[in-house]
């Protein structure tokens, strides 16, 4: 798991609006979500809905053979992964579901723009003990790393990690027991995946802006 964390990069912002503008998709119309080349941690956005329900769907949506190499998900309970890929032009491997609220390891040969995602919704976040790959489809306004830790009971989330999209260096905020949250208090944004290190199960907690039309 440490090896996976060391290789991650975050998904790029959603284009067609601005972060923090809850009405962006209604004003500017259809949105796209850029996923960068190389290995990234992709999380579906709530506003980019469509017919992507499984790993094979996402393979095709990301450009098909020659563009997407692998898509993997972390299985927290077993500290292992499942993945799908292409064998020549045929999808092979695990056709697991692609869901809002989760994040996935995606390896591309070039940057691709997604025009479709999972069916819309704003699900709860439920954590298992261990490393949870999490996304928030439509985050609450001004939601931060410290807010995520503080929303769960003390002793549940030990740390939250992301990769800074500019420096490609890890940032994290942490809490020991019921102590204060320390570290970098980065924003939680749609399209980025995060690694939540949980010491015990937690949730359900909803981190989405439930007042937004996409969450209704």
Q: pLDDT tens digits for 151-181?
A: 999 999 999 999 776 776 789 999 998 889 9
Phi-psi category of residue 44: left, alpha or beta, with phi > 0 → left and psi -120 to 50 → alpha:
beta
The whole-chain average pLDDT of the chain stands at 85
The distance from CA 131 to its chain's CA centroid, rounded to whole angstroms, is 13
**What local confidence, expressed as pLDDT, does residue 75 receive?**
97
Closest listed residue to residue 137, CA positions, set 17, 24, 48: 48
Query: Following CA atoms 53, 56, 58, 61 in sequence, which dihedral angle do they give, to the nearest 10 degrees?
Result: -120
**What local confidence, expressed as pLDDT, does residue 146 receive?**
97
pTM score, two decimals? 0.83
79-89 burial, b if ≥16 CB within 10 A, otherwise e? eebbbbbbeee
Contact 185, 145 (CB under 8 A): yes
Mind listing the pLDDT tens digit for each residue in 29-51? 457 899 888 888 899 998 887 88
pLDDT-based confidence at residue 16 (cuts at 50, 70, 90): very low
What is the Cα Rg of the chain in Å? 16
Res. 7: pLDDT tops 60: no
């Amino acid at each position: 798991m440490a090896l996976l964390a060391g290789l991650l990069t975050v998904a790029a912002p959603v284009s067609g609006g601005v972060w923090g503008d809850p009405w962006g998709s209604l004003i500017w119309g259809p949105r796209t979500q850029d996923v960068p080349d190389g290995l990234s941690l992709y999380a579906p956005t709530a506003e980019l809905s469509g017919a992507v329900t499984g790993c094979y769907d996402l393979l095709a949506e990301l450009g098909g053979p020659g563009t997407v190499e692998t898509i993997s998900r972390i299985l927290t309970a077993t500290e292992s992964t499942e993945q799908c890929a292409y064998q020549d032009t045929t999808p092979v491997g695990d056709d697991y579901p692609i869901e809002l609220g989760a994040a996935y390891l995606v390896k591309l040969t070039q940057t691709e723009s997604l025009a479709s995602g999972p069916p819309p919704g704003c699900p709860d976040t439920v954590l298992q003990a261990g490393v949870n790959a999490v996304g928030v489809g439509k985050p609450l306004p001004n939601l931060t790393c410290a807010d995520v830790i503080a929303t769960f009971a003390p002793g549940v989330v030990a740390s939250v990690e992301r990769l800074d999209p500019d420096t490609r260096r890890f940032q994290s905020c942490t809490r020991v027991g019921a102590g204060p949250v320390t570290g970098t208090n980065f924003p939680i944004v749609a399209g980025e995946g995060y690694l939540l290190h949980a010491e015990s199960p937690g949730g359900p907690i909803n981190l989405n802006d439930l007042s937004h039309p996409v969450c209704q």
